[in-house]
Structure 1
Amino acid sequence: MKSFIEQAKQHIELQEGTPVIEQLLIECYMNPGISTKELARRTLLPTPVAAAIKRELIKAGALLQDRGVRCTPEGVARIEREWGYQGLNRSLYHKLLQDTVWTEGLEEVLAILKKVFSLRPTANVQIDQSKCTPETSLRRAVLCLKQSALIGKKIVCIGDDDLVSVSIGLLLNRMFSAGGHSVTTVDVLDIDQRFLQYIDAVATEYHLPIRCHQVDFREPLPEELHGKYDCFFTDPPYTLQGMVLFLSRGIQALKRERGLPVFLSFAHKSPAFTLAMQRELVRMGLTVSANFPRFNSYEAAEMIANRSQMFVLRTTDQSQPEYAGKFIDALYTGEVKRTLRTYCCKQCAGLVQVGVTEDFSTIEQLKNDRCPHCGHDTFELVEKTILPAKKEKHDDDTMD
């Protein structure tokens, strides 16, 4: 199938990247006889651009114009063989793409997930783990389908205490209930061996296409995981450093293509934090394709009101990780609160201290306010010191 896509790319300058060509082809496969205007609407392309892609795919032998647009027999065969669409439950597929009750048709999957989630390891709050609900995990998998990033793709989870990999695998089993689909794969990268072992056991029990890798994101991403994947999921620590680090590792894992989706779950934050967050996304060459407030629900996560938002980001020609080597900054919420960190301005080399006792309590505040010496907004950590624990006040302290 890549030959069809590559042929189309050779003759049309397309800023949206390869994924939109693939999406247009799948729309023709799933909706034979579709009009060019409807193709443009579904792919969010201007009609002339959609028409130009259609013409190139016709020249490549993938499509034909016949009472609308449809795939040729060769196009159908290669989509089913190489992308794994053969045996797909089309009725369920179309139902899941509609903006109706998204759980309709997935009751059995949700029942399995509730059982699986009830037995998962406890959350380790020291590394900012929290327990999302089974419905949230499955909803993320359905969102992946809606973003044309599921069937036939190589997916990676940058951390997966939310068991998104399991939800994706079970969703695939439901959509290909006759079996035989073996193209989609999901890799899980996580530091927590407890979750890796549990996910691996669940994958074995339910025959899910999941592979687990123990990875410490503070260390450079192993070379064998670079440039392999079509999309990634992450629900990082809710610190600016945590978000940037996890996104950096995910960008390294993605194929070097524009338009690839990134599924980022993150807490609802203040305008100041959000400004710093968006600046980092731009710095890493990521665009915001969609944002869904209150998308994620969690158990016993009162600090974030048991809810977080979902961002769908897209890669560009300028996408690059902010952190490529070893990470030495504070990462988790508790760690950020109990450290004093000295940053060096990359523009003027001025030193600025950041911590709860300083003028700048967080790195996002420093980046928003900019360097007090030159007004620049990029910094490098040069020193990190653990703050002494607060001395608890006892009744004896007030006695003479």
Structure 2
Amino acid sequence: MNEELIDYVYSQVSMKEGKKVIENILLDIYFKPGISTKEIARKTLLPLPLVSAIKKELIKVGLIEQKRGVNCTARGSRFAEQVMGFGDLDHDLYQRLKYEQWQPDELKDMMTKLESVFEGRPQVDVTIDQSSCTLATSMNRAVLALRHEALIGRDIVCLGDDDLVSVSLAFLLKQLYRNDASKSNTRIYVFEIDKRITSYVNYLAETEDLPIVCYEMDFREQLPSEFLNRFDCVFTDPPYTQQGMSLFVSRGIQLLKRDVGLPIFLSFAHKSPDFTLAMQREFANMGLLVTSVLPRFNEYIGAEIIGNTSQMIVLQSTEETHESIEREYRQALYTGEVKRTVRLYECKRCNRVTEVGFQMEWQTIEHLKKEGCPGCRYETFELIQKKNA
């Protein structure tokens, strides 16, 4: 996005809320001509004097005017439409989605098409803590980005994407832009360790004309320098360990632009009070603001160990935001590495007992079922014992 005008306005106003606030004010005026200064203050939760100061600078650069309320000038409308990407948007649908006034039937055709897309995604690899969220959850994450003004005209990165959030984001853009997501000025990147996922998303991007680019990447390594400080928004659903959360959020911070108010949408399991407190301390140590916690926001298929649900934690960057893990990471990360549990499974046919666990021949029960019992190749087992490695 060409941000020269916004940068200039930001430089003229004494504020710590970030440039995104100025963009949001301009959009509020664009979508509601004649809006009052007081209503802008209520919508943005900003002090009235600060809104007045921002309004004054936007008038100076010719983007808005005070005339029977606050309105965009012709230049301001062009800026919102051409530079920010709101020109060819289905305004009515956008407003209904933003203010939760939409009906599921409005997206029925899109969701029907996505059903086959989600059914075709690769099987989860539990050794790297993958779990498949439902299609509805993936789309709800995309709508959440829209409500946070983090969808249109943004550079978005998904750190891991076995949930196909990138695809839901792109399909929602196609719906909003009458089948041409490129008009949104949005670019979506996927960084993923599993080449099956990157191959599948790349295939979808090509066949469905989606603004998505994928890179195979292991977050335990340092990120390529060309991607640092480039993005407006981060999505991640990391391993549900303290180490996994810290590493993935740290990588997200490194990828975000150095600005205040940029969101990280973190999906994470519901945890004990002690774990949650430690997690919140880590957020504070990294200079991140927790703006909302949405319990049971995410639903998963076959993830009984977490009750098939997890929470959505919306984090926001501040002037003090910094990563807690800067360079490569060489410690335990995934659940199987952190919690060295060995499970004993008994074959239902021949009663042979097989050990399953980290760094063993069979690391997961899914792997054992796929290969079959070492004694008779039967595929049904009973868990008879669980012990620490």
TM-score using structure 2 length: 0.85
In the alignment, which residue of structure 2 is the partner of 1:222?
224
Query: What secondary structure, in the 3-state scheme, does the structure 2 residue paired with 1:314 have?
Result: strand
Query: What secondary structure, in the 3-state scheme, does the structure 2 residue paired with 1:272 have?
Result: helix
In the alignment, which residue of structure 2 is the partner of 1:55?
56
In the comparison of the two structures, how many residue pairs are matched?
A: 345
Q: Does 1:283 align with 2:285?
A: yes
Match of 1:208 among 210, 213, 216: 210
Across the aligned residues of Structure 1 and Structure 2, the Cα RMSD in angstroms comes to 1.9
Q: How big is the shift at 1:327? A: 0.2
Query: What secondary structure, in the 3-state scheme, does the structure 1 residue paired with 2:292 have?
Result: strand
Q: 2 CA distance for matches of 1:181 and 1:36?
A: 30
Q: 2 CA distance for matches of 1:177 and 1:99?
A: 20
Asked whether the equivalents of residues 96 and 102 of structure 2 are also in contact (C-alpha less than 8 Å), the reply is: no
In the alignment, which residue of structure 1 is the partner of 2:339?
337
Q: How big is the shift at 1:137? A: 0.3
**Which segment drifts farther, 53-62 or 160-169?**
53-62
Q: Does 1:34 align with 2:35?
A: yes
Asked whether the equivalents of residues 177 and 184 of structure 2 are also in contact (C-alpha less than 8 Å), the reply is: no
Q: 1:87 to 1:327 in 2, by over 3 A?
A: same
Q: 1:102 to 1:17 in 2, by over 3 A?
A: farther
Asked whether the equivalents of residues 62 and 72 of structure 1 are also in contact (C-alpha less than 8 Å), the reply is: yes
1:182-223 deviation per Cα after TM superposition (whole angstroms, max 9, x unaligned): 510000000000000001111111111000000000100111
Amino acid corresponding to residue 26 of structure 1 in structure 2? L
Match of 1:306 among 297, 305, 308: 308
Q: How big is the shift at 1:4? A: 2.3
The percentage of counterpart residues that share the same residue type is: 50
Asked whether the equivalents of residues 173 and 184 of structure 2 are also in contact (C-alpha less than 8 Å), the reply is: no
User: Where do 1:109-120 residues align within 5 Å?
Assistant: 109-120=110-121
Amino acid corresponding to residue 286 of structure 2 in structure 1? M
Q: 2 CA distance for matches of 1:101 and 1:3?
A: 35
Q: 1 CA distance for matches of 2:99 and 2:203?
A: 33
**Which segment drifts farther, 243-252 or 53-62?**
53-62
Query: What secondary structure, in the 3-state scheme, does the structure 1 residue paired with 2:113 have?
Result: helix
Structure 1: stretches of 5+ with no match in the other structure: 340-385, 395-400
In the alignment, which residue of structure 2 is the partner of 1:176?
177
1:10-33 deviation per Cα after TM superposition (whole angstroms, max 9, x unaligned): 221111101111111111111111
Asked whether the equivalents of residues 142 and 169 of structure 2 are also in contact (C-alpha less than 8 Å), the reply is: yes
Amino acid corresponding to residue 322 of structure 1 in structure 2? S
Structure 2: stretches of 5+ with no match in the other structure: 342-357, 362-383, 385-389
Q: 2 CA distance for matches of 1:132 and 1:111?
A: 16
User: Where do 1:21-100 residues align within 5 Å?
Assistant: 21-100=22-101
Amino acid corresponding to residue 93 of structure 2 in structure 1? L
In the alignment, which residue of structure 2 is the partner of 1:158?
159
Q: How big is the shift at 1:298? A: 0.5
Q: 2 CA distance for matches of 1:275 and 1:87?
A: 45
In the alignment, which residue of structure 1 is the partner of 2:12?
11
Amino acid corresponding to residue 326 of structure 1 in structure 2? E
Q: 2 CA distance for matches of 1:141 and 1:104?
A: 17
1:313-365 deviation per Cα after TM superposition (whole angstroms, max 9, x unaligned): 110111111111110111011110129xxxxxxxxxxxxxxxxxxxxxxxxxx
Q: How big is the shift at 1:226? A: 0.5
Q: How big is the shift at 1:99? A: 2.8
Q: How big is the shift at 1:41? A: 1.7
Q: 2 CA distance for matches of 1:55 and 1:255?
A: 26
Q: 2 CA distance for matches of 1:178 and 1:111?
A: 15
Q: 1:118 to 1:388 in 2, by over 3 A?
A: closer
Amino acid corresponding to residue 32 of structure 1 in structure 2? P
In the alignment, which residue of structure 1 is the partner of 2:297?
295
Asked whether the equivalents of residues 6 and 23 of structure 2 are also in contact (C-alpha less than 8 Å), the reply is: yes
Amino acid corresponding to residue 69 of structure 1 in structure 2? V
Q: How big is the shift at 1:61? A: 0.9
Q: 2 CA distance for matches of 1:204 and 1:218?
A: 29
In the alignment, which residue of structure 2 is the partner of 1:243?
245
Amino acid corresponding to residue 264 of structure 2 in structure 1? V
